[in-house]
Chain A
């Protein structure tokens, strides 16, 4: 079966010499929910720009369901729906017109486009605003309008570039539910984000891109399994001036907060046993940071060290 997206040796050098993407390979299977994760300026948007033909590539190949963007661009384009990072619709036009026009560009007849526009505007809670100038919409509504627009030609792949940037938590969760629903209906979804929680919550497979290179490309499960250490934060009441936790790295950040690094091979029971023996009460417990975030920081830091090594 053809993968939904196959990228080989993709390279992009901008005018002026900036090397944004350094020959990456990437494969996304049909039906996948895929995260392309990376810090700002890593090359995520450039990669998406090339896939959607908004950026001319310098070298390499991109195939969408087997159709090469060099030889069968129109066919490749027809499979993709793009939700870009920045608002790029005409702010003076109403959502209904934006959607129907977009469908028209893909050759969808007007009477069908009108029905589809109503369907997606209702699904994304925008029906009330269908005929208002889109500049009056809130930030979250504008993002949802761009999702509706990307769905108007019923694409097989939906590419979202930072879809929840600037969206409040409740709306973000609604958006996640909606994207999961689309994925369950069979649409392959590729998401770029720097909200690591978003990638962890939604995606089955992940590629981490940094400095124009893919530094990790694996399933979310196996990526998280590589985490060896988690930092647990305990809210405690302290009787003495110091705590002695043998076998664990620990530190008091203030007199009520204790941070402990727990290795995968270690048991939390040991921590509690030792704390109980020392008469320390634990009131609450949480993870210090998102697990993926820690891994991400480690990976990108390693990449910087390697890059610096290669340069020197």
Chain B
């Protein structure tokens, strides 16, 4: 049971986080909409029409779930990474540290903010994709569960990145050198069954493969991996990253001298 004062603290952090990305909507909500429209035009309409079918669906329908998931991942991560790092940099994180806010409330507040932005951007991208393709829904609950859990994973990742970051460079290194390659190699644009056996095996250690495939299953009913395994992987990441974030904040890494 969450105490009354903790509920107020949590809603304060969440409200602040949502107001932050809404205040700078030109930086936070518009770019993913433009990027994704370009993907649809180039990979869907121009090149996609020459590719033919993928996994039994036309290429455009195949990549839509992956593209939505890509924007959810990027936005959840970057929201928490930049917001929490800015709070550290401007030192307004101290406002929370001097108050009796439990560490889990700080984590939940920032992760909730990242999830909200991820899901909001995901919804915008979904609406845009309706202009290009008819979206079918195989299982809405799988879609909702996957998008929520995935945005939680990457919000936690963004938070841990921000806790360790010492400069603004540090919050762009991980997205550039790890997150983007993993996403592009995570089966957004292709079915991993197309890969040679060795690379199929390598792809299985990429967590984004499980997220994209579970999400695609929700829309199209097809997946390169087992759904149970996909949710097990996602939940394991959530538990591990949450624990790491809690330990780091409790120790005051990057926060207390």
Query: What per-residue 1/0 map shows which CB atoms of A92-114 lie under 8 Å from chain B?
Result: 11000110111011111110000
Is there an interface contact between B100 and A101, defined as CB atoms closer than 8 Å? no
Is there an interface contact between B99 and A77, defined as CB atoms closer than 8 Å? yes
Is there an interface contact between B101 and A105, defined as CB atoms closer than 8 Å? yes
User: Quick one: which of B72-108 are within 8 Å of A by CB?
Assistant: 86-87, 90-92, 94-102
Is there an interface contact between B23 and A92, defined as CB atoms closer than 8 Å? yes
Spell out A's residues near B (CB within 8 Å).
Answer: 14-15, 49, 52-56, 73-75, 77-78, 80, 82, 84, 86, 88-93, 97-98, 100-102, 104-110, 149, 153
Instruction: Determine the chain A residues whose CB is within 8 A of the CB of B102 once the complex forms.
Output: 74
Bound CA span A78–B6, Å: 13
Q: Residue among B5, B16, B98, B252 with the most chain A CB within 10 A?
A: B98
Is there an interface contact between B90 and A77, defined as CB atoms closer than 8 Å? no
One of B6, B91, B99, B256 near A56 (C-beta < 8 A): B256
Is there an interface contact between B98 and A54, defined as CB atoms closer than 8 Å? yes
Instruction: Determine the chain A residues whose CB is within 8 A of the CB of B96 once the complex forms.
Output: 105
In the complex, besides A82-B98, A88-B94, 8 extra interface pairs with C-beta distance below 8 angstroms are A15-B257, A53-B97, A54-B94, A54-B257, A74-B100, A105-B9, A105-B99, A107-B100
Is there an interface contact between A90 and B256, defined as CB atoms closer than 8 Å? no
Number of A-B pairs, beta carbon distance below 8 Å: 85
Is there an interface contact between A104 and B100, defined as CB atoms closer than 8 Å? no
Q: Residue among B4, B91, B102 with the most chain A CB within 10 A?
A: B91
Is there an interface contact between B95 and A105, defined as CB atoms closer than 8 Å? yes
Instruction: Determine the chain B residues whose CB is within 8 A of the CB of A82 once the complex forms.
Output: 98
Is there an interface contact between A88 and B95, defined as CB atoms closer than 8 Å? yes
Minimum CB–CB distance from B190 to chain A (whole Å) comes to 41
Instruction: Determine the chain B residues whose CB is within 8 A of the CB of A53 once the complex forms.
Output: 97-98, 256
* A104-B256 CB under 8 A given contacts A54-B97, A74-B100: no
* A104-B95 CB under 8 A given contacts A14-B257, A56-B257: no
Is there an interface contact between B98 and A107, defined as CB atoms closer than 8 Å? no
Is there an interface contact between A104 and B9, defined as CB atoms closer than 8 Å? yes
Instruction: Determine the chain B residues whose CB is within 8 A of the CB of A102 once the complex forms.
Output: 95, 99
Instruction: Determine the chain B residues whose CB is within 8 A of the CB of A90 once the complex forms.
Output: 86-87, 90, 92
Is there an interface contact between A55 and B256, defined as CB atoms closer than 8 Å? yes
Minimum CB–CB distance from A148 to chain B (whole Å) comes to 13
* A54-B256 CB under 8 A given contacts A77-B98, A88-B94: yes
One of A54, A75, A107 near B4 (C-beta < 8 A): A107
Q: What secondary structure prevails in chain A residues at the interface with B?
A: loop
B8 interface contact, C-beta 8 A: yes
Is there an interface contact between A107 and B90, defined as CB atoms closer than 8 Å? no
Is there an interface contact between B256 and A101, defined as CB atoms closer than 8 Å? no
Is there an interface contact between B91 and A97, defined as CB atoms closer than 8 Å? no
Bound CA span A105–B3, Å: 13
Q: From B7, which residue of chain A is reached at the shortest CB distance?
A: A107
Is there an interface contact between A84 and B94, defined as CB atoms closer than 8 Å? yes
Bound CA span A149–B91, Å: 15
Is there an interface contact between A73 and B12, defined as CB atoms closer than 8 Å? no
Minimum CB–CB distance from B64 to chain A (whole Å) comes to 35
Instruction: Determine the chain A residues whose CB is within 8 A of the CB of B243 once the complex forms.
Output: none
* A80-B92 CB under 8 A given contacts A56-B256, A105-B12, A110-B8: no
Q: List 8 A-B contacts (CB under 8 A).
A: A49-B257, A56-B257, A86-B91, A89-B92, A97-B19, A104-B12, A107-B8, A153-B99
Instruction: Determine the chain B residues whose CB is within 8 A of the CB of A105 once the complex forms.
Output: 9, 12-13, 95-96, 99-101
Instruction: Determine the chain B residues whose CB is within 8 A of the CB of A75 once the complex forms.
Output: 100
Minimum CB–CB distance from B250 to chain A (whole Å) comes to 11
B172 interface contact, C-beta 8 A: no
Bound CA span A77–B3, Å: 17
Bound CA span A102–B8, Å: 11
Q: Residue among B3, B4, B16, B96 with the most chain A CB within 10 A?
A: B16
B45 interface contact, C-beta 8 A: no
Instruction: Determine the chain A residues whose CB is within 8 A of the CB of B92 once the complex forms.
Output: 88-90
Bound CA span A54–B98, Å: 7
